Chain A
Amino acid sequence: MLHIDNISIDLGEFRLDEASLDVAPGEYLVILGPTGAGKTILLETIGGLYTPRSGSISINGRQITNRPPKERNICMVYQDFMLFPHLTVEENIVFGLRSRKTDEEDAKKKGREMARLLAIDHLLHRYPDTLSGGEQQRTAIARALVMEPNLLLLDEPLSALDAQTRESLVKELKRIQKITKVTVLHVTHNFEEVFALADRVAVMNRGRIVQVGPPDEVFRKPNSEFIAHFTGTKNIFRGVCSMDSGASTIRVGTISIASRTCREEGEVYATIRPEDILVSRTPITSSARNSLFGTITGIANNGMFVKLTVDAGVPIVSVLTRQGFEEMDLDIGDEVYLTFKAAAVHVF
């Protein structure tokens, strides 16, 4: 659908260096990368705000590399909303339809429908500066979606919002994409958004796209040290969650992990922070619901802390203090118990 072939551009501080990417119709692709990786400039180049020095961009087989933004029908939503402050919510939403010279009645009708879809139809006559962050971002999304864009570009759309609003907007984005089937490119540096939304994830660094794939694959089989280091998250599991009389269990390969919630039954991702896992030579009796048994396959010492990799059916990483590690006198091949609370299992 979207085909980006080796585009390069240099804007001094930010640049793209032969970036290539293919996006399938209806796909939700999340672009992840550190600050200054060129994520925003990639979106802005796709949107037509910059012309690349070399390379080409095509959409649905049509070359758009040198076409102005208005001929692309690719819409953009920024982190800080960029709602036009002199226009009401309704006027903001129909702004693009008016540039298309859509019939005024028709535009208003479409605008109201889109506002209803985003649950902001009670705010149509308000001005942006009277809205909460979440409401502003819903308005910005409605303003883009009402154009029925070929491609929706989201530049850290949730970063300016508080955690609660962010969570509800994540669900909303998922729901709306299901309904509208719009193709989305979503830039973020938040891993949770990746797992909650992405069909695939593309990792960017220094103006290049360094890996593209399904989230679990990119996180578990990083193809470079940069990605392994950047993604950083250890203990990511993909499994099937089921609820039974209030307790939820995630089956990951041959093991079962108890968690506090499932979020939704079926396929889920779960993470456990290495420092939440207690390592012992004998089983521990405690209120913690998870106790796994395994063999130490790796020990990495980084001064203050020691990182253990334990094969308990799936590889699990735990962290000990240096002192604790020395007192227990552990070595590769030793058998240990891993204990952690259901609450330490983060499901998304």
Chain B
Amino acid sequence: MRRSWFYYATIAASVILTVFLVLVLSLIVLRPSADALLASLASSEMQFAVGLSLATASVSTLLCMLIGIPAAYALARYSFPGNRIINAGLDLPLALPPLVAGLGLLLLFGTTSLGNWLADVGLVFVFTPLGIIVAQFFVNFPYMIRIMRSTFSMINPRYEYVAKTLGCSDAGAVWRVTLPMSRTGILSASTITWAKGIGEFGAVLLLAGAIKWKTETLPIALFLNMSTGRLDMAISAALLLILISVCALYIFERYGGSARF
């Protein structure tokens, strides 16, 4: 069968994109010498960055789950006044540049009386690791909400009805039936949220700053070392970020199953 030019053109587009992607990524991988790379990876600065990234992303993901899952449940199950506005509003951070989000957070915690009061009771968010967590949380909770909302709305509410006639309270039915039935959704939502948290840069930069040995997550480490010309260190940070993204993508594709966002 004779194919049209359109057939070849669209395939060519996909091939060019893939070559471009592989070229860019392989430069990062192949550029430094193995010795220099291992030395950078073993450096205590890199280890600090890895530790800080893992810790902040895990805590911010946990926060997203604690607040995002109940919110997503309400949006999926209940019709209440303002449902639609809240639904649309909570998606907004997806379209918001993280830098803008970071600026807003900096203004909130750095210039308002609420921020001052929080600082007085010991919760300092400006230029601290605590700020990293809040920045990641703010930028990433929409992913949690979107995936969980679609997960919950795919589960027939009659499962909960049956659980309630079998002696469960509203919360009990969700805990014993809906949440276990949502476990693939929860897994993929947390994986995405966590991986996005690890890679978050713009909002973290503005709220927590780029302070070596203090708020130096992997992306910040990449940025700081790049600006001071330490290419091996920057590249090893980038390599670790690539590794984490690939793992997260694998988990999402492998176990996420029907989850959508």
Q: How far is the CB of B83 from chain A (nearest CB, A)?
A: 15
How would you classify the secondary structure of chain B's contact residues: helix, strand, loop or mixed? helix
A144 vs B167: C-alpha distance in the bound complex, in angstroms?
Answer: 11
Q: Which stretch of A71-79, A170-178, A272-280 is in the interface?
A: A71-79
Chain A residues, CB < 8 A from B251: none
A79 vs B175: C-alpha distance in the bound complex, in angstroms?
Answer: 24
Q: Hey, what's the 0/1 contact readout for A275-294 against B, CB within 8 Å counting as 1?
A: 00000000000000000000
Q: Which of A72-104 contact B (CB under 8 A)?
A: 72, 74-76, 78, 82, 84-86, 95-96, 99-100
Chain A residues, CB < 8 A from B97: none
Q: How far is the CB of A185 from chain B (nearest CB, A)?
A: 13
Q: Hey, what's the 0/1 contact readout for A137-176 against B, CB within 8 Å counting as 1?
A: 0000001100100000100000000000000000000000
Q: Hey, what's the 0/1 contact readout for A58-76 against B, CB within 8 Å counting as 1?
A: 0000000000111010111
The size bracket of the interface on B is 10 to 19
Q: How far is the CB of B210 from chain A (nearest CB, A)?
A: 45
Task: Choose from A44, A49, A68, A147 the contact partner of B166 (Cβ within 8 Å).
Answer: A147
**Do residues A143 and B181 form an inter-chain contact, with CB atoms below 8 A?**
no
Q: Hey, what's the 0/1 contact readout for A13-37 against B, CB within 8 Å counting as 1?
A: 0000000000000000000000000
Q: Which of A235-287 contact B (CB under 8 A)?
A: none
Q: How far is the CB of B174 from chain A (nearest CB, A)?
A: 13
How would you classify the secondary structure of chain A's contact residues: helix, strand, loop or mixed? mixed
A269 vs B169: C-alpha distance in the bound complex, in angstroms?
Answer: 44
Q: Which of A92-129 contact B (CB under 8 A)?
A: 95-96, 99-100
**Do residues B181 and A74 form an inter-chain contact, with CB atoms below 8 A?**
no
A281 vs B202: C-alpha distance in the bound complex, in angstroms?
Answer: 96
Q: Which of B139-195 contact A (CB under 8 A)?
A: 156, 158-159, 161-169, 172, 176-177, 180-181, 183
For chain A, the count of residues having a C-beta within 8 Å of the partner chain is 24
Task: Choose from A44, A85, A100, A153 the contact partner of B167 (Cβ within 8 Å).
Answer: A100
**Do residues B159 and A82 form an inter-chain contact, with CB atoms below 8 A?**
yes
Q: How far is the CB of A149 from chain B (nearest CB, A)?
A: 8
Task: Choose from A48, A85, A86, A144 the contact partner of B164 (Cβ within 8 Å).
Answer: A48
**Do residues A99 and B168 form an inter-chain contact, with CB atoms below 8 A?**
yes
Q: How far is the CB of B169 from chain A (nearest CB, A)?
A: 6
**Do residues B158 and A78 form an inter-chain contact, with CB atoms below 8 A?**
yes
Most chain A C-beta atoms within 10 Å of own C-beta, residue among B158, B163, B168, B172: B158
Return the chain A residue nearest B155 by Cβ: A85
**Do residues A48 and B162 form an inter-chain contact, with CB atoms below 8 A?**
no
Chain A residues, CB < 8 A from B177: 84
**Do residues B164 and A70 form an inter-chain contact, with CB atoms below 8 A?**
yes
| Contact A86/B180 with A48-B165, A69-B164 known, Cβ cut-off 8 Å | yes
Residue A215 at the chain B interface, CB threshold 8 Å: no
Chain A residues, CB < 8 A from B176: 95, 99
**Do residues A85 and B161 form an inter-chain contact, with CB atoms below 8 A?**
no
**Do residues B169 and A70 form an inter-chain contact, with CB atoms below 8 A?**
yes
**Do residues B164 and A95 form an inter-chain contact, with CB atoms below 8 A?**
no
**Do residues A82 and B167 form an inter-chain contact, with CB atoms below 8 A?**
no
**Do residues A76 and B165 form an inter-chain contact, with CB atoms below 8 A?**
yes
Chain B residues, CB < 8 A from A38: none
Chain B residues, CB < 8 A from A47: 161, 164-165
**Do residues A76 and B167 form an inter-chain contact, with CB atoms below 8 A?**
no
A70 vs B180: C-alpha distance in the bound complex, in angstroms?
Answer: 21
Chain B residues, CB < 8 A from A144: 165-166
**Do residues A82 and B156 form an inter-chain contact, with CB atoms below 8 A?**
yes
Chain B residues, CB < 8 A from A75: 165-166
Chain B residues, CB < 8 A from A100: 167
A44 vs B164: C-alpha distance in the bound complex, in angstroms?
Answer: 11
Q: How far is the CB of B255 from chain A (nearest CB, A)?
A: 15
**Do residues B165 and A86 form an inter-chain contact, with CB atoms below 8 A?**
no
**Do residues B167 and A70 form an inter-chain contact, with CB atoms below 8 A?**
yes
Return the chain A residue nearest B157 by Cβ: A49
Chain B residues, CB < 8 A from A84: 159, 163, 177, 180-181
Return the chain B residue nearest A84 by Cβ: B177
Chain B residues, CB < 8 A from A147: 166-167
**Do residues A82 and B158 form an inter-chain contact, with CB atoms below 8 A?**
yes
Q: How far is the CB of A160 from chain B (nearest CB, A)?
A: 13
Chain B residues, CB < 8 A from A95: 163, 166, 176
**Do residues B181 and A96 form an inter-chain contact, with CB atoms below 8 A?**
no
A293 vs B156: C-alpha distance in the bound complex, in angstroms?
Answer: 57
Most chain B C-beta atoms within 10 Å of own C-beta, residue among A49, A69, A76, A85: A69
Chain A residues, CB < 8 A from B163: 84, 95, 99
Q: How far is the CB of A69 from chain B (nearest CB, A)?
A: 4
A47 vs B173: C-alpha distance in the bound complex, in angstroms?
Answer: 15
Return the chain B residue nearest A40 by Cβ: B158
**Do residues A78 and B166 form an inter-chain contact, with CB atoms below 8 A?**
no
A99 vs B180: C-alpha distance in the bound complex, in angstroms?
Answer: 16
A288 vs B238: C-alpha distance in the bound complex, in angstroms?
Answer: 89
Chain A residues, CB < 8 A from B169: 68, 70
5 smallest beta-carbon distances between A and B, as pairs = A99-B167, A96-B166, A69-B164, A86-B180, A70-B167
List 10 contacting pairs A-B, 8 Å CB cutoff, sorted by A.
A44-B161, A48-B164, A48-B165, A49-B164, A70-B167, A82-B159, A84-B180, A95-B166, A96-B167, A99-B168
